[in-house]
Structure 1
Amino acid sequence: MVCSAPQSGPLVGFAKTAKIAALSPPNEDKEIIKNRRMEYYRYMSEVSGPSIAVIEDVDFPDCIGAYWGEINTKIHKRFGLSGVLTNGVVRDLGDLAEDFPVVA
């Protein structure tokens, strides 16, 4: 694992956990998928103290696509999270916020 911002120091906080997968497309109704996504964002935004996102890519080691990048970094930072730990693929390495460590 490598940290995008090692100068940030230790990454400590309550774990806000989630699982992602992309190998098989979802077979649920679009409304169910939309509601699940909105529930994820609600859950991640409910921060009451130092928290980090812990995202498990259940397709590992056969991960496809990169869930985490510049946009998710900005969203989760705005939610009040301190960083992310994931076994998934990360993109936009040159555009990640320097004060939001991404460990992958």
Structure 2
Amino acid sequence: MKINNIDGEVVKDNETYILKDNTSLNNFVISSTTLHAGKSTKGHNHDGKEEVYLIISGTGKMDLDEKTIPIEGGDMVLIEDGVFHRVHNTGDVDLYMVCIFDGDRENVYRT
């Protein structure tokens, strides 16, 4: 598996992003998002779960509760339990990121 192709199943594919989940591990989901230029995710938070975001390419910003941080390829962002997070692609090309979280998508996300 290469970090720019995590394999897995396409969960969503629309004008905002392509979201793909690899659920081959027993305890973790490896998810990739290709966020199109000028687009933003809806954002979400979840209790009892933490996430690690690896920004592979592109530039943007991430909302973490009341704080906004710049992000770019090579960055790692640790999302603590219960923190609202949303990603904005502020660049002219797709922003590609990989997210790792414990559990399954159905029991993790609330929008």
Would you tell me which structure has more strand in proportion to its own residues? 2
Q: TM-score, normalised by structure 1?
A: 0.29
Q: TM-score, normalised by structure 2?
A: 0.28
Higher RCO (C-alpha under 8 Å, 6+ residues apart): 1
Would you tell me which structure has more helix in proportion to its own residues? 1
